[in-house]
Amino acid sequence: MNVLVTGGAGYIGSHAVRRLLAGGHTVAVLDSLHRGHRAAVPDGVPLVEADLRQTDVVEKALNENKVDCVMHFAALAYVGESVGDPLTYYDNNTAGTVSLLRAMDRAKVRRLVFSSTCATYGEPASMPIVETMPQSPINPYGWSKLFVERVLIDYAAANKDFAFAALRYFNVAGSASDGSIGEDHEPETHIIPVLLNVALGKVEKVTIFGDDYDTPDGTCIRDYIHVEDLADAHAVVMEALKDGEQRFYNLGIGQGRSVKELIDAAREVTGCKIPADLGPRRAGDPPMLYANADKINNELGWSASITDIKQTIETAWRWFEANPDGYGDN
């Protein structure tokens, strides 16, 4: 299958590119490089440097690469940033996807796998989260993704041969097992890279944002899915999509890890002390979020292969030790 990966120079998208290539697919990447890295795109894979809102450019990329399916990762994804600058998130994430769909419509591309988020659920009344739970985001980032899901549903209703999947996933972690690519964000807000940057001496300490939540150790609990498992799930879903189908799946390992558990695991993996300070809670942080991923397992036989948080951190540490400055282009 010929696949266009939007955001394919980013953290998750670049891992998806490698998974698709390993699965025998032909891949092209479209990325603005606003937060992506040219070096994350493998040699020989076409890279179209463009913004999704450049509809004509996207259409041209779809036609020139004879695309059968779009795997859509291109989005801004900082919750706090979305609260301070919501218009940018709605413009980039929601309007950008509308532009992508217009380009796909013109190019007659009828399949899309959408990288959605657990943030569409907001603060669920119970755990674990299942796909049938109400979706009520508590920040503009979550709304910008939920609006895309609504747009996809409405577009599919008007175009009966259009097939899509929306994959709602939780915290993504780790790096390629062979150390070839990894996580490199500026700014870096994800807790595991922050912990590893402390271990490398690049950051003085990690801040625990609140230890008085209603959880066993008082710190927030999240479901950490390995990035290679996440990329694999996207490929499995893409290969299963049939004309006119709509699929919605949670992706996760089905259990949560607390902030304190992550700190202890990172100390063990790195052999470093990793100083930690207590800070105030962050606005909009639910105490606990973790997935029930039974639906994708029951329908497609997919489940996460890496569920040990230390194993996940080990793959990330392999990348960070070898690439302390990431891709070196920040």
Catalytic residues: 141
Length of the chain: 330
| 170 contacts: CB under 8 Å, gap ≥ 6 | 118, 222, 223, 224, 225, 250, 251, 252, 289, 290, 291
Enumerate helices (H) and strands (E) in the chain, giving the number of each. Answer: 11, 14
111-115 and 69-72 strand pairing:
parallel
Q: Is 39:327 a contact under the CB 8 Å cutoff?
A: yes
Give residue 114's region: left, alpha or beta (phi > 0; psi -120 to 50).
beta
3-state secondary structure of 92: helix
Residue 187 preceded by cis peptide, ω within 30: yes
Bridge partners of 3? 27, 69
Best CA proximity match to 323, nearest among 151, 157, 200, 172: 200
CA angle 297, 303, 308 (to 5 degrees): 150
3-state secondary structure of 19: helix
Residue 115 dihedral angles phi and psi, to the nearest 5°: -80, 95
Q: Is 7:72 a contact under the CB 8 Å cutoff?
A: yes
Helices 227-240 and 11-22 meet at what angle, rounded to 10? 60
